[in-house]
Amino acid sequence: MSGSKKKAAKAVSNVFSMFSQNQIAEFKEAFGFIDQDKDGILSKSDVKKTFDECGRILTDSELDEMMGEATGPINFTMFLTIFGSRVAGMDEEEVIVNAFHIFDEGDGTCSEDKLKKMLCTFGQKLTTQEANDTFGEAPIHANGKIDLKKWANVLTKGSENPES
């Protein structure tokens, strides 16, 4: 029995070692936001409600696919494990592009107002001034929407040009 406890402890410590303390704190905050019923487990209902609040309606098959990524109940450790496997080997820009995916309006863009509202309302909330400063660097199309891929490049490399 003690052998299985060692294996479990090692698996847990490995997933926590993949992230900095700040990243773990941000994941913990995100987990708390998604855990709508505050029971410490992310259910299909929790995930659906969270996406609904963000303005993205998921189909049952999309929800089932997301929930199927976990090998058991999605507690905080499982949540970190899922994200750890997704970000392993990704560069910072890919991680940001994937995070922006929830806001993508189907063409790689998102309205500035929608994204600003989300960043000022959820998670580590930005102040209006911080949001204005942040969005001052965002590449805006003529239609007034932010190009999410280019913005991820600006945030990580300081340039819209992916070659730089």
- pLDDT 10s digits, 106-144: 888 888 888 888 777 776 677 888 888 878 888 888 788
Question: pTM above 0.75?
Answer: no
Task: Evaluate whether 78 touches 71 at the Cβ level (below 8 Å).
Answer: yes
| Rg of the chain, C-alpha, whole Å | 18
Asked whether residue 79 is domain-assigned, the answer is yes
Asked whether residue 124 is domain-assigned, the answer is yes
Q: Are residues 103 and 133 in the same domain?
A: yes
Q: For residue 23, which of 109, 127, 99, 74 has the smallest C-alpha distance?
A: 99
- Residue that is written with structure tokens 């997704």 in the block: 86
Asked whether residue 161 is domain-assigned, the answer is no
Q: For residue 71, which of 63, 86, 60, 82 has the smallest C-alpha distance?
A: 82
Question: What is the C-alpha to C-alpha distance for residues 78 and 92, in angstroms, rounded to an integer?
Answer: 22
Which domain range does residue 52 map to?
9-89
Pairwise pLDDT comparison (109 vs 158), residue with the higher score: 109
Q: What local confidence, expressed as pLDDT, does residue 44 receive?
A: 95
The residues that bridge with 140 in the sheet, in sequence order, are: 146
What would the mean pLDDT of 149-159 be, rounded to a whole number? 80
Tens digit of pLDDT for each residue in 6-39? 444 444 447 788 777 888 888 898 899 899 999 9
Tens digit of pLDDT for each residue in 79-101? 988 877 776 666 677 777 777 87
Q: Are residues 81 and 115 in the same domain?
A: no
- CA 120 distance to own-chain centroid: 15
Domain count, the chain: 2
Asked whether residue 14 is domain-assigned, the answer is yes
Q: Are residues 115 and 64 in the same domain?
A: no
Task: Evaluate whether 152 touches 145 at the Cβ level (below 8 Å).
Answer: no
